[in-house]
Structure 1
Amino acid sequence: MMKQRLNPLALGALLCLAASLPAAASNNPQALRLPAAEAASLRIDGALDEPAWARAPVHEAFHTFLPEDGQRPPWRTTVQVLVQGDALVFGIRAHDDAPERIRAPLTRRDQVRRDQDFVAVLLDPVGLRRSAQFVRINAAGVLADGVFTAEDDVEDFAPDFEVQAATRRLDDGYSVELRWPLAALRYPDANCPAGAPPQADCGTRPWRLMVTRSVPREASHLLVSAPLTREALNFIAELQPLEGLGDLVETVRERSFLNLRPELTARASRSRDPAGRQREQDLTLGAEIKWRPRADWVLDATLNPDFSQVELDTPQLAGNTRFALSVPEKRPFFLESTDIAGSAELDDSGSLRSLAAFYSRAITDPDWGLRATWRGSDAQATLMQLRDAGGGELLRAHAYGTESYRQPAGSTVSFARGRWHQGPWSLGGLLSQRDYGAGRSNRVLGLEASWHASGSDLLRGQLLLSSTSVGFDAAQDDRPQAQAQAAEPGQHLWLSWQRRNEDWNNLAYYERISARFAHDNGFVPQSGVQRLLLQTHRRLGGGLLAGLPVYESELQLKLLQTQTLSDPRHGVSGGELLERRVQPGFWFTSARNSEFWGHLGLDAQRARSGGRLHALRTLSLGTGSNPAPWLTWLAAELEWGRRLDVEADRTGRGAWLLLEAKLRTELPRGAWLEFEQRAEQGFVRGPEARRAFRDLALQSLAVLHLSPRDSLRLIGQNSHFRRRAEPLAEPALEGARERQRQVSLVAQHRQGLNRVFSLGLARSRDWQRQQWQTELFAKAVLGYE
């Protein structure tokens, strides 16, 4: 094709014409400031019918992120933002040419998932795009909220914010109004020096925003209001500035907010064990106070809190492992600024999770607690002090297992962590102490750094140094008491490099945990090891597979090797190969939010020091999908082949199976029923093709939503482990049977976060320990601002 050269005179004329035209409108979302009288009259009812919405700028530059990025959205979505004196109000219009297909069930808070029609607002008031607070609202008005952390690329649904939202179903879709009080946001103070001009930003950055929309049809679309693509290092990498706020941030920085949440809990319980029968009655008055003296500071206090779990923790298989299992946090006091307190470590699947540097579930029963959190424009920090009444467990890990000890009756917990950001760099440190008195303590000092070397590369690392002067004498009894000892030093180091672009998603990770490393305010299930992980994912894009549409696909390879470090106390020599994994696999997505994955396990593992290195050969397959509006999730995962029997130190044919199903159905008078079933089972066959052990965990959950505020929830769960006796085996194996059952029935009335009333009945039974307990409780939370 012949190319034509542009005449210089014509080029000059075009430049002059362009200069004379008005500047193009910004592609960023714009906010409209409202006069005080109009702001006060604004109703949050989902209708978007006040005159202010007719004047507010409309942002509708949405893009398709899933199932395939870069495509034009099939549905129109618009966003408008109004500014009140003490809040931001978002108006979102979700157009739909088939409104009868909108999925709008009543469900529990924080259970708004991709199987529902929802919109979400992600807001970063710090402006660094390192974390963002988010709120999801489904088409029925149910909320889910939390914090998204960029470095881990995960969303944490544990934090809750006092926001107000309403929806309205329309003939061509639905609309949403979300009122987000400034008191629920965390952002830096200006810190302007004396004499600075009024227009100076003093190092502050613009607030950043992204709005998303889920449409769970055959292709299960996720639309985003920012130019986000799949090769981004994280989901909030392209948050856009929210313009039009004017001096709002400056005018409310010094405004103080106070929230008081007293709670009253009444309990009556009966229990029985081999020692006899017991009856107890208890009336507990506690309180939580949150004070934000100005924008960059938040002070939290808790006094005599009731930290019982209204919703039971999901049971996990534990019969064929010697390592401790973690459970998620649900208690409000620990959920302020989780993006600062958290750290990262490698879990068994090769993912990074926030447990190593701070694990709040290690704190069992606080009498009181204080916490201060500060956010600057380039740094953040949090400081925590608590008095723990104890009653829980202390973990002491080694290369081949985790030992659990009785926690002393009382201890003082101190924890501080801070981070500083400059361009692509982030540096941080932490101090942690658990003081049990009488010369018994555990102290940890930590340093960390991360570097965004490019738009595709992220390098991270952390070094933790511990000093532990609390030990245990195993000769005393099965659960020895803590005692003072000479301080033992320990170290925990990890380094990681991640590269993500259009074609590759790769991770390299190295970790070294010395034998005597301990962190009583963290979670350390294994020590005395060093490991190297390499993961590579080759992105292949979409297409057709046997007539099935494929939106994304990957070929995967995981290489992991773990070796022991010298540990004379547990008789472990250094350099012993503990585990090797070679796992090629695949992954792809398809219609109805479906995923399919599988890998071969060409692995080797050692069960005890000096024992045989066993060759394992397994095939793992899994799938998950949103098949129908009433069957919102159906998943299955199977591992089959030659597996390791840890206790017997041998391999055998076996399997591990996980099944999950979630159903939702609408009942008369606007009520909804949720039903969820989870079943997990594992076994390995021994000699004579008989099962050496069987491990089973079941959970059933049913929730009847009578209205958006009223619900009745029933949870039943069972765990059962059984091992067959083998007296002629080497070593001889004794028979074992562990069986537990918990049932919980809770009626709840909820008005936001500040008005919650619960009445419940719980019953638990442990057949091995011959224990059962029945408890009736009532709890009222009344919040005041």
Structure 2
Amino acid sequence: MKHSLTSLALALCSCAALAGPDTAAFYPEGVSGPRALRVKHAALQLDGRLDDALWAEAPIHDAFVQHQPEDRRPARWHTTVQVVVDDDAITFGIRAYDPEPSKIRAPLARRDQVKRDQDFVIVVLDPVGQRRAAQFARVSASGVIADGVFTADDDAEDFSPDFDLQAAAQLLPDGYSVELRWPLAALRYPYAGGAPWRLMVGRSMPREDSVMMLSAPLTHDALSFIAELQPLEGLGDLVETVRERSFLQVRPELSARQLRRSVSEGAADGHSERHREAALGAEIKWRPRADWVIDATLNPDFSQVELDTPQLAGNTRYALFQQEKRPFFLESKDVVGAGQAEDAGAAHSQAAFYSRAITDPDWGLRATWRGVDAEATALSVRDAGGGQVLRAHAYGTRYFEQHGRSQASFVRARQQIGELSLAGLGARRDYGNGRRNSVFGTDFAWRASEQALLRGHLLLSDTTAGFDAQGQAQRQTAERGHRLWLSWRERSADWNHLAHFEHVAPGFANDNGFVSQTGFRRVSLESHRRLGAQSWAPLGEGLRLQAYEFEWQMQAQETRALADAREGVAAGELIERRLHPGLWFSSARNFELWSHLNLDQQRARSAGRLHSPRTLTLGFSVSPAPWLGLLSAELEWGRRLDVEADRLGRGLVWTLEAKMRTPLWKGWWLDFEPHLSGASVRSPQGDASLSELAAQALAVLHFGARDSVRATVQHTRLNRVAEPGLAGSADRERLLALMYQHRQGLRKVYSLGFTQSRQQPGAERETQWFAKLAIDLMD
């Protein structure tokens, strides 16, 4: 049946109820943002008390407005912010008044785990002044820091980068206060001629309504969270004074480990081996002047990076994305253009550069430059190998072992021309012996209006690094391909529209990027009808339900194959068609509920049968209590496609996640975060044909602000029942990790722990003990 996806999506959305009542805007006229007190040297004791003499001189800003749960409302609680700037740092003093201080949630937590279930303040700072990207820091009422980068194009916050910040908080009889010191060495800004630095300060209160108040007039209609950052006045000659100053950070790392690997004697090749090693590495960061940052890494040890949450992989044809967590790759991610793949735009940026494709660096060097209307970054890393190389096609991803070393390089430069951002980029992976993969291209972003954004990229690849039928690396005749992606996003008070177009040639490959599918053309459309606040009383006024935001949603997508003679795929073959009408709303206690009907068509293999799975998705998340900061669950149930068996069967996919925090004694806190997911599909006879489970439990015992013990248990299980024409399997993997860590910000980290993993089939067992010391040496 021929139809226009666009017309169908908009027509179904138009059947939604009429919009809720309009809310009059509440923003004080002529109110500017916070103003700084400029001094030569700030004699401030960072204890969170705001009782130093300088705070009595610094201007007070208290013009806050409510942003969540409903915008265009006056602030419910009094909040003030003061800013003191000297030649070394910007220090923020924030006072959060509270008539019910006993309800302040101030648990101890890990860095970057300051979430909406805690009381916190947030500082969002854009020293470039263009509102394209901003650094941010959240500080909880207990003084815990969560920091990162916010990018306007993706409208997403990325907690993976860490900055050398210092913070302290103090609980008071009428609320709490926070001091945050942001060293100028941790800021990235142009050498000269830049726009005024921009700032927004916020406060989150996780009471029943989960309120967020901001110092800037931001509404839900804005395209990004940083769209209304206000100029930070009072900096005076700060930029001119410190722009020539050089900052050098040297962080040597000493690590020792003992490894024991064994295969059970019952296996065909039972054996055991032991290995001990000690290694010295270093991370170096040099900022010769304000607009340049040089990063170097030598023999880095990333063993203490937090483990990835296991994902369901038994019923998918394509490679799975993993978040980057290694420090060397996180500097100036906004210049790299690599998002966190939480939405379609960020996911497509990973096709240009995906640092997780670099497995085990021996060394790496990187330089980043920022100007007023331009910026650039270049990096080169020697990868020791041991990872996988992806080669994709229309119906799946093939994996090949990368046994040898390779040189991975990437460069990107971006120019801002009015509302148009235009970038050129190049990537290369050289394996030696004439085997390489090169990618060149361009990407752009054009802000058509305050509510509309057009983005896209065009990438061209040339590859001589191939593999034979046995998976062995070989040099091949150069194979070329291209990747085109366009995206349109538009947001208003009543609607939120998102459209994507992709065209990826069969021969496209990027060994420095994340490319899980090629040889297809895809059109995706999303339309959300925004109805604002809604209220229902289906069983009488005593059971009235209040939604702060409500949306009717429609998602539509169609993917068709491009001609691929090598894979035997015909042009125009329908791979997948999706049609997902649904709804979403939010309410008190951070409660969100979503549901959609999945009316799909899918093909598991080329020239195979076109199936019509029908499933229903229902999910929710909520912060129900101080001790239970998050409870989230999602269930998809109905007729699902069993990819390997190429048939439909009754089945489900489910996830369950919780985050719990409780005080113990003498200031000790316990975090417990279980994450479970599972899937199953039944055969036509009603028997379980495929079942899968992925589980992770993370427990962290905090002895104080600097000392903790972290335990992680992971378990994955995949069962496939054997049947005619389909081999059975029973895969198991278990992992236990235990680590003690003493941490003084980013400057001193001591770690001691072990990991143990077991894998079936193969009866493999690996145990590793490790110790690591990392200390920053500053000039």
Question: Following the alignment from structure 1 to structure 2, what is the Cα–Cα distance between the partners of residues 499 and 34?
Answer: 44
Greater CA drift, 481-490 or 464-473:
481-490
Greater CA drift, 538-547 or 739-748:
538-547
In the other structure, the counterpart of 1:123 is 125
Match of 2:553 among 529, 543, 556: 556
In the other structure, the counterpart of 1:384 is 379
TM-score of the superposition, structure 1-length normalised?
A: 0.93
Question: Following the alignment from structure 1 to structure 2, what is the Cα–Cα distance between the partners of residues 351 and 287?
Answer: 30
How many Å apart are 1:311 and its aligned residue?
Answer: 2.0
Matched, 1:410 2:405: yes
Match of 1:290 among 265, 285, 290: 285
Matched, 1:276 2:275: no
Question: Following the alignment from structure 2 to structure 1, what is the Cα–Cα distance between the partners of residues 32 and 684?
Answer: 69
How many Å apart are 1:512 and its aligned residue?
Answer: 0.6
Matched, 1:360 2:355: yes
Cα distance, 1:702–1:462 mapped onto 2, change above 3 Å: same
Match of 1:618 among 615, 618, 630: 615
How many Å apart are 1:347 and its aligned residue?
Answer: 7.5
In the other structure, the counterpart of 1:19 is none
In the other structure, the counterpart of 2:8 is none
Question: Following the alignment from structure 2 to structure 1, what is the Cα–Cα distance between the partners of residues 392 and 342?
Answer: 15
Amino acid of the structure 2 residue aligned with 1:560: Q
SS of 2:714's equivalent in the other structure is strand
Structure 1 residue ranges without an equivalent (≥5): 1-23, 191-201
Is the Cα–Cα contact under 8 Å of residues 287 and 302 in structure 1 kept in the other structure?
yes
In the other structure, the counterpart of 2:17 is none
In the other structure, the counterpart of 1:70 is 72
Question: Following the alignment from structure 1 to structure 2, what is the Cα–Cα distance between the partners of residues 35 and 413?
Answer: 44
Question: Following the alignment from structure 2 to structure 1, what is the Cα–Cα distance between the partners of residues 343 and 318?
Answer: 11
In the other structure, the counterpart of 1:489 is 480
Matched, 1:681 2:683: no
Question: Following the alignment from structure 1 to structure 2, what is the Cα–Cα distance between the partners of residues 228 and 655?
Answer: 40
In the other structure, the counterpart of 2:206 is 216
SS of 2:32's equivalent in the other structure is coil
Cα distance, 1:344–1:141 mapped onto 2, change above 3 Å: closer
Number of aligned residues: 739
SS of 1:496's equivalent in the other structure is strand
Is the Cα–Cα contact under 8 Å of residues 33 and 215 in structure 2 kept in the other structure?
no
In the other structure, the counterpart of 1:4 is none
In the other structure, the counterpart of 2:10 is none
Runs of 4+ in 1 over 3 A off after TM superposition: 343-354
How many Å apart are 1:438 and its aligned residue?
Answer: 0.5
How many Å apart are 1:35 and its aligned residue?
Answer: 4.1
Question: Following the alignment from structure 2 to structure 1, what is the Cα–Cα distance between the partners of residues 33 and 108?
Answer: 33
- Give matches, 1:461-472, under 5 Å: 461-472=456-467
- Give matches, 1:266-665, under 5 Å: 266-273=256-263, 274-343=269-338, 352=347, 354-474=349-469, 476=470, 480-546=471-537, 547-665=544-662
Question: Following the alignment from structure 1 to structure 2, what is the Cα–Cα distance between the partners of residues 427 and 344?
Answer: 17
Question: Following the alignment from structure 2 to structure 1, what is the Cα–Cα distance between the partners of residues 772 and 53?
Answer: 43
Greater CA drift, 300-309 or 431-440:
300-309
Q: For residues 353-375 of structure 1, what are the alpha-carbon distances to aligned partners after superposition, in whole Å with 9 as ceiling and x for unaligned?
A: 64111110110111111000000
Q: For residues 477-529 of structure 1, what are the alpha-carbon distances to aligned partners after superposition, in whole Å with 9 as ceiling and x for unaligned?
A: xxx22111111111000001110011111011100110010000000010001
Q: For residues 565-611 of structure 1, what are the alpha-carbon distances to aligned partners after superposition, in whole Å with 9 as ceiling and x for unaligned?
A: 11111111111000000000000000001100000001110000000
Is the Cα–Cα contact under 8 Å of residues 451 and 490 in structure 2 kept in the other structure?
yes
How many Å apart are 1:770 and its aligned residue?
Answer: 2.1
TM-score of the superposition, structure 2-length normalised?
A: 0.94
SS of 1:364's equivalent in the other structure is coil
Question: Following the alignment from structure 1 to structure 2, what is the Cα–Cα distance between the partners of residues 543 and 734?
Answer: 52
Is the Cα–Cα contact under 8 Å of residues 283 and 300 in structure 2 kept in the other structure?
yes
- Give matches, 1:17-32, under 5 Å: 27-32=32-37
Question: Following the alignment from structure 2 to structure 1, what is the Cα–Cα distance between the partners of residues 534 and 523?
Answer: 34
Is the Cα–Cα contact under 8 Å of residues 305 and 326 in structure 2 kept in the other structure?
no
SS of 2:449's equivalent in the other structure is coil
Q: C-alpha root-mean-square deviation of aligned residues, in Å?
A: 1.3
In the other structure, the counterpart of 1:738 is 731
Question: Following the alignment from structure 2 to structure 1, what is the Cα–Cα distance between the partners of residues 687 and 762?
Answer: 27
Amino acid of the structure 2 residue aligned with 1:437: G
Question: Following the alignment from structure 2 to structure 1, what is the Cα–Cα distance between the partners of residues 338 and 777?
Answer: 33
Match of 1:260 among 246, 250, 267: 250
Q: For residues 47-105 of structure 1, what are the alpha-carbon distances to aligned partners after superposition, in whole Å with 9 as ceiling and x for unaligned?
A: 00011111111111111111000111110111100012210000000010000000000
SS of 1:681's equivalent in the other structure is strand
How many Å apart are 1:310 and its aligned residue?
Answer: 3.8
Question: Following the alignment from structure 1 to structure 2, what is the Cα–Cα distance between the partners of residues 347 and 747?
Answer: 31
Question: Following the alignment from structure 1 to structure 2, what is the Cα–Cα distance between the partners of residues 346 and 392?
Answer: 21
Amino acid of the structure 2 residue aligned with 1:778: A
Question: Following the alignment from structure 2 to structure 1, what is the Cα–Cα distance between the partners of residues 684 and 464?
Answer: 45
How many Å apart are 1:326 and its aligned residue?
Answer: 1.4
Question: Following the alignment from structure 2 to structure 1, what is the Cα–Cα distance between the partners of residues 136 and 761?
Answer: 44
Question: Following the alignment from structure 2 to structure 1, what is the Cα–Cα distance between the partners of residues 340 and 251?
Answer: 34
Question: Following the alignment from structure 2 to structure 1, what is the Cα–Cα distance between the partners of residues 344 and 425?
Answer: 26
Question: Following the alignment from structure 1 to structure 2, what is the Cα–Cα distance between the partners of residues 634 and 285?
Answer: 42
Matched, 1:138 2:140: yes
Question: Following the alignment from structure 2 to structure 1, what is the Cα–Cα distance between the partners of residues 344 and 417?
Answer: 32
Matched, 1:249 2:239: yes
SS of 1:689's equivalent in the other structure is coil
Amino acid of the structure 2 residue aligned with 1:498: R
Cα distance, 1:348–1:125 mapped onto 2, change above 3 Å: closer
- Give matches, 1:28-177, under 5 Å: 28-36=33-41, 39=42, 41-177=43-179
Question: Following the alignment from structure 1 to structure 2, what is the Cα–Cα distance between the partners of residues 500 and 136?
Answer: 27
Q: For residues 632-687 of structure 1, what are the alpha-carbon distances to aligned partners after superposition, in whole Å with 9 as ceiling and x for unaligned?
A: 10011000011000000000111111111111000110000001111101001102
In the other structure, the counterpart of 2:19 is none
Match of 2:181 among 155, 164, 179: 179
Question: Following the alignment from structure 1 to structure 2, what is the Cα–Cα distance between the partners of residues 411 and 605?
Answer: 38
Question: Following the alignment from structure 1 to structure 2, what is the Cα–Cα distance between the partners of residues 611 and 650?
Answer: 10
Amino acid of the structure 2 residue aligned with 1:259: Q
Matched, 1:773 2:770: no
Structure 2 residue ranges without an equivalent (≥5): 1-28, 264-268, 538-543
In the other structure, the counterpart of 2:190 is 188
Question: Following the alignment from structure 1 to structure 2, what is the Cα–Cα distance between the partners of residues 332 and 351?
Answer: 19
Is the Cα–Cα contact under 8 Å of residues 341 and 350 in structure 2 kept in the other structure?
no
Question: Following the alignment from structure 1 to structure 2, what is the Cα–Cα distance between the partners of residues 230 and 512?
Answer: 32
> Which structure: larger Rg?
1
Amino acid of the structure 2 residue aligned with 1:493: L
Question: Following the alignment from structure 1 to structure 2, what is the Cα–Cα distance between the partners of residues 125 and 319?
Answer: 46
Is the Cα–Cα contact under 8 Å of residues 87 and 241 in structure 2 kept in the other structure?
no
Amino acid of the structure 2 residue aligned with 1:585: G
How many Å apart are 1:408 and its aligned residue?
Answer: 3.9
Amino acid of the structure 2 residue aligned with 1:143: I
Q: For residues 366-397 of structure 1, what are the alpha-carbon distances to aligned partners after superposition, in whole Å with 9 as ceiling and x for unaligned?
A: 11110000000001110001111111100000
Is the Cα–Cα contact under 8 Å of residues 658 and 678 in structure 1 kept in the other structure?
yes
Is the Cα–Cα contact under 8 Å of residues 154 and 345 in structure 2 kept in the other structure?
no
Amino acid of the structure 1 residue aligned with 2:120: F
Greater CA drift, 524-533 or 762-771:
762-771
Cα distance, 1:215–1:26 mapped onto 2, change above 3 Å: closer
The percent identity for this pair of structures is 60
SS of 2:239's equivalent in the other structure is helix
Q: For residues 317-365 of structure 1, what are the alpha-carbon distances to aligned partners after superposition, in whole Å with 9 as ceiling and x for unaligned?
A: 0000121111111111101001111246988979756411111011011
SS of 1:97's equivalent in the other structure is coil
Match of 1:233 among 202, 220, 223: 223
Question: Following the alignment from structure 1 to structure 2, what is the Cα–Cα distance between the partners of residues 575 and 424?
Answer: 37
Amino acid of the structure 1 residue aligned with 2:180: L
